[in-house]
Structure 1
Amino acid sequence: MGANKSDAAIIDSVREDIATARSREFSKSKGGSACNRLENVTTFTGNTAHPVRAGKQAFLHWVNRCGERSELAMQRTVIGNTYWYGWSMFIPSNWENPADDYDILTQWSIYPNVPGRRMPCSAVGSYILRSGDSISFRLQRKGENSDSECTRYSLANLSEVRGKWVDFVMHTKWTGNSDGFLKLWMKVGNEPYVEKINYSGRTYWNDEGTGPYFKMGLYKGDPNFKGAAPRYLYTDEYRLGDANSSFEEVAPSGSSQVQPPPPPPPQLIFEDFSTSANNFTVDAGGSWSINSGKYLLRNTNSSLIDVPNGNITVHKTSVPTNFTLTADAGATAGSSDWDDFSVIFNYQNQQNYYYASFNESDNDGTHGLFKVVGGVATQIANFDNTIRGGATYNIKVEKKGSTVNVYRDNVLQAAVTDATFSGGRVGFGSRNNPATFDNLKVE
């Protein structure tokens, strides 16, 4: 998530001295300085203990019922540019959450450049809002089919964050084009960072005069606001980085690094049959070939009626004990009511393997999960709903240790425990019917 550190740039910040902010919006707001206060505080200022995120000072935002706002405003951004943001917020543990009131806590504000531009989220620009017990992010930008669009993202409940420093990191490109994006991570107290928003698309408007500017603090709007008063909170550790900055550079000082998502499982097999099936070996019956990006079974061996699958093809790759297999498959529709196909796994040889059989009809010899030991097939689970010839189904087999789960179109068909086979190969088959297979993936 980091960038080239030699090129990284923090282009704006306010972390210790309140005077370093571009502007301090409080004394000239409704109610004046008697009703809106904004000040530096240390851990013990004015006979009162205060929380400080890092360093020696934090910022106290205070609004009484006769007031409107107490915010720090930072520099404007440029439309089309990419930025990293980092900041911290502390909501006191005695905050109430009246359902008939709200608090705007952070805002990417604009002065609309287009007369009459509607803001469907109400406030101007994008912002973080406390409403009732919910804290949410509201993203306003140019819509796909309208001038303005609003999307709401839930971040936390007020009860989860009261009395704790909450750290934020945001990475975004402000643009009215579809190549924009916005990612937001949030860290509560000593917990790790959690990604709350991962959005791709328009984030702004290209016909605005400038990009948005960042504000943090407390905005009440109406000097006669309802609920608890005075209202106050703390902020600290604001940093703005340009496109060459990084998560680590803007993250509030001392906060733990973002917890990266777990790596995707290794992909053992992927076959889309766009060109060949050279990785497969035909072990029994039928004619197997590629046609229009699919693996087809034709001219099936229908004379071997006493074998579980008279037609078998298997991949050359050996698969370990634990895996997830997915494939698209279907039985070719014919005059019989017993059109079928099979997905084979833990294949040792023609005499020993598991297979999931899917059939238009159902009896003890088909349409279920089977194991073949010494050439004899035993049904270890039955599938309820039969298939339709000519239709394509997504099949998934999950195997972990001795546990096997089989899904068809994401609906569980069987869950069994059987330890007869562990590793082996995977493949396709059919008792005696033509079939089509595609998009085999094993992880």
Structure 2
Amino acid sequence: MSSTTAAEQLSATTLLRFATAGSVDDGKSTLVGRLLHDSKSVLTDQLEAVEHASRSRGQEAPDLALLTDGLRAEREQGITIDVAYRYFATARRRFILADTPGHVQYTRNMVTGASTAELTVILVDARNGVVEQTRRHAAIAALLRVPHVVLAVNKMDLVGYEEGVFARIAEEFTAYATELGVPEVTAIPISALAGDNVVEPSATMDWYGGPTVLEHLETVPVSHDLTGCHARLPVQYVIRPQTAEHPDYRGYAGQIAAGTFRVGQEVTVLPSGRTSRISGIDLLGTAVDIAWTPQSVTLLLEDDIDISRGDLIVPSGDAPATSQDVEATVCHVADRPLTVGQRVLLKHTTRTVKAIVKEIPSRLTLDDLSQHAEPGELVANDIGTVRVRTAEPLALDAYADSRRTGSFLLIDPADGTTLAAGMAGESFATERPAGPAAGADDAGWDF
């Protein structure tokens, strides 16, 4: 009997995508550096480079935060600016980590880092407790439907490792996150600088009997099985090679966003509503009878119907409704405000259409989760509800059903700047203000 190789063991482990978030100086980069260092996921030359950089700054011990703060501006300012992605593995699981900025100016980057995460680690400085940026990150995690949230109460060494301090912070945050609809919160007291409860259990916090950060990351249940979800294929390319071998070939290529497609299956093309059957599926140049997410495939249909980039192929009888009116919660990420009547582009999967912001019914107040009605605009880092009218019908799923086909971007048509990230059908509001839609109907944008 042959022994299992290390490569075979690694390929058999599950993958966890997770993100870190927190306020400035809460110690996110130090936590990530400690996690990488103590799990022996740092190469020798990387550690030597960090030690050299630390000595040049007059520090005796290696500054593990430098393992993730890779930009020169980050090193000079001592803050994280960009989202730093790191890949590492243990014997139990593989990880893709997104270390996101803590400065309020870069909250938009947290949206990017957490958009594909199954777990978010939100750090809190034990001396400061829950602050506005903590609440903002919890709200974003809830909006993005991140199923697992870890509250890492850091710098416990600076409060004498007191259990009462940890308990108060954990209780306040858990109550707030629960009100937001976060399904699961795990609170862990840590000292990233000293390594307490990061990889190894703390000898100074014997009152804590829960998992370390790494232990929780290794054991939290995750599922990537989207094969049973609503099948969706956003068309990216229409392939017509027009060769002598395949003179009539017409295929519709894209990555399956969710679900499974089979040869012989009846499908509907949206937004046109035309129907046909799958006559063939090409996967990497090979004909197959079945394909599933996240495979990139080419579908061939029995009927020659008009399909172009941006159309959505779905099983007949399981099609989302198409509409030109989109109501969603958005996180505004641009420096310029989003205003009622503003002309924008809406990008949904592979489809981009013109749109107008008709209403901004409410903006979320993070302190008490109340709604500020009819704010008129959203500024950077605001979370609010919008109603948008598009020039062409769109087929959006509810974000609760599909993070891929229920999300969209609002883009400035003048320069391509991303204005807001939207989640269809998501809202913290219990009531919506009624009233006529507002907005400028400029030439070429009157929908």
User: Which of the five TM-score ranges fits, normalised by the shorter chain?
Assistant: under 0.3
TM-score by length of 2: 0.22
More strand, by proportion: 1
Question: Larger RCO: Structure 1 or Structure 2 (Cα < 8 Å, ≥ 6 residues apart)?
Answer: 1
**Larger C-alpha radius of gyration, 1 or 2?**
1
Between structures 1 and 2, the one with greater helix share = 2
